[in-house]
């Protein structure tokens, strides 16, 4: 309560991992039961319960009575899992074959006498700006590595594939334009970004719908017989294509379907995020107000007042 009104003190989040049941287990009523390990041994209730009327739940893709819903990233999880595994396999391949294995070859006749010397030589190979290896013409030394890149190329292509699928799962395919040799024009990227923004607008709408339920509840707490409730709205996420908007307006105005009146002008300015028109009412006709008009009108009012005062004085003389 504040000044006799019921108000929202604060909206405190409840971490999903702390919720053990979507029902108050002690009271057997709708709500949530939390488990707070940090409260163990402090004397506080480490299994607190919150009734449903004190909760504001935001659920995406709710299934039946399950308040958990489905994560917006659920479709991306499979591709993330494979991508993570492939990165590990690629790392193992680079670690195993990237450095290479020192390999020596010596004439069979000298194998017994030169074996220990060659093994010691290969074992102590180091790379530095002064590193070198001196052998006779009958002894050869080289580094064995992965002779075929087909396996690594397949892994990299799989990683790229799953990266694209992750982007597609969140309507973010425009992020892949120009990556891994792909290409795309401005029109393609603009349409894909617009589609992504529509998705964001939808998610924001889900949030505002829940907030509006809370607003309605507190309006009813404080006022009677309210019919029109204030609402929280999310705007300006999905952008308007100005070229399409102006082209469509030109057609409907030229054909006479729409009259370019003040309401249309205000609507167009709002869509294009332009400043509001500055207008004033004079003889029931709206005109655009200019800075110089304001000074002229002020001077005219002053002169009218002086003239009226003069007339009153003149009448008083009679």
Could you report the per-residue pLDDT of 44-83, keeping only the tens digit for each?
A: 777 888 888 888 888 888 888 778 888 888 899 999 999 9
Average pLDDT of span 5-34: 82
Higher pLDDT, 136 or 204: 204
Residue 201 maps to a domain: no
Which residues are within 8 A (CB) of 124 and not within 5 positions of it... i.e. 6 or more apart? none
Indicate if the pLDDT at residue 235 is higher than 60: yes
Residue 105 host element (H or E): strand 101-106
Residue 106 host element (H or E): strand 101-106
Higher pLDDT, 236 or 264: 264
Average pLDDT of span 201-207: 88
Distance CA 121, CA 306 (A): 113
Average pLDDT of span 276-284: 64
Confidence of residue 276 (pLDDT cuts 50, 70, 90): confident
Centre a 10 Å sphere on the Cβ of residue 56 and count the other Cβ atoms it contains. 13
Q: Using the 8-state DSSP alphabet, how is residue 217 labeled?
A: H
Residue 100 sits in the same domain as residue 153: yes
Averaged pLDDT score across all residues of the chain:
78
* Residue 266: exposure state from Cβ atoms within 10 A (0-12, 13-18, ≥19): middle
Average pLDDT of span 277-285: 61
Which residue, 124, 143, 169, sits at the end of a domain? 169
Distance CA 174, CA 165 (A): 12
Indicate if the pLDDT at residue 115 is higher than 70: yes
Q: Helices 262-271 and 242-254 meet at what angle, rounded to 10?
A: 160
Spatial contact of 26 and 17, defined as CB atoms under 8 Å apart: no
Residue 81 sits in the same domain as residue 140: yes
pLDDT of the residue at 166: 92
Residue 92 maps to a domain: yes
Q: Which of 66-75, 80-89, 171-180, 305-314 has the highest mean pLDDT?
A: 80-89
Residue 33 maps to a domain: yes
Distance CA 274, CA 151 (A): 56
Residue 119 sits in the same domain as residue 158: yes
Domain hosting residue 246, numbered range: 240-277
Average pLDDT of span 281-309: 54
Spatial contact of 176 and 164, defined as CB atoms under 8 Å apart: yes
What's the total number of domains in the chain?
3
Residue 304 maps to a domain: no
Which residue, 136, 169, 202, sits at the end of a domain? 169
Token pair in block for residue 77: 């999880």
Indicate if the pLDDT at residue 262 is higher than 60: yes
Indicate if the pLDDT at residue 318 is higher than 70: no
Residue 33 sits in the same domain as residue 111: no
Residue 153 sits in the same domain as residue 88: yes
Indicate if the pLDDT at residue 315 is higher than 70: no
pLDDT of the residue at 300: 61
Residue 27 maps to a domain: yes
Residue 21 host element (H or E): strand 19-24
pLDDT of the residue at 15: 85
Residue 89 sits in the same domain as residue 44: no
C-alpha separations of 56 from 44, 52, 253, 265 in Å: 24, 8, 46, 40
Distance CA 138, CA 107 (A): 6
Residue 309 maps to a domain: no
């Amino acid at each position: 309560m504040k000044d006799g009104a019921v108000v929202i003190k604060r909206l405190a989040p409840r971490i999903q991992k702390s919720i053990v049941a979507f029902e108050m287990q002690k009271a057997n009523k709708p709500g949530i039961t939390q488990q707070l390990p940090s409260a163990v041994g402090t004397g506080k209730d480490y299994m607190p319960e919150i009734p449903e009327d004190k909760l504001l739940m935001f659920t995406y893709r709710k299934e039946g009575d399950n308040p958990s819903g489905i994560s917006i990233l659920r479709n991306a999880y499979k591709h993330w899992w494979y991508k993570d595994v492939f990165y590990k396999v690629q790392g193992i391949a680079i670690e195993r074959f990237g450095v290479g294995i020192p390999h020596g070859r010596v004439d069979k006749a000298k194998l017994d006498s030169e074996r220990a010397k060659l093994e010691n030589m290969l074992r102590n190979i180091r790379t530095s700006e002064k590193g070198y290896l001196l052998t006779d013409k009958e002894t050869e030394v080289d580094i064995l590595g992965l002779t075929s890149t087909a396996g690594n190329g397949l892994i990299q292509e799989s990683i790229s594939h799953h990266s694209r699928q992750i982007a597609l799962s969140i309507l973010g395919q425009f992020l892949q334009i120009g990556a891994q040799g792909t290409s795309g024009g401005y029109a393609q990227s603009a349409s894909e970004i617009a589609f992504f923004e529509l998705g964001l607008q939808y998610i924001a709408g889900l949030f505002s719908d829940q907030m509006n339920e809370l607003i309605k509840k507190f309006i009813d707490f404080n006022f009677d017989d309210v019919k029109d409730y204030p609402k929280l709205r999310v705007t300006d996420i999905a952008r308007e294509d100005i070229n399409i908007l102006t082209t469509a307006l030109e057609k409907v105005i030229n054909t006479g379907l729409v009259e370019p009146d003040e309401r249309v002008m205000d609507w167009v300015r709002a869509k294009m995020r332009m400043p509001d028109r500055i207008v004033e009412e004079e003889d029931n006709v709206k005109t655009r107000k200019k800075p110089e008009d304001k000074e002229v009108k002020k001077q005219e009012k002053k002169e009218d007042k002086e003239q009226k005062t003069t007339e009153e004085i003149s009448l008083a003389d009679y």
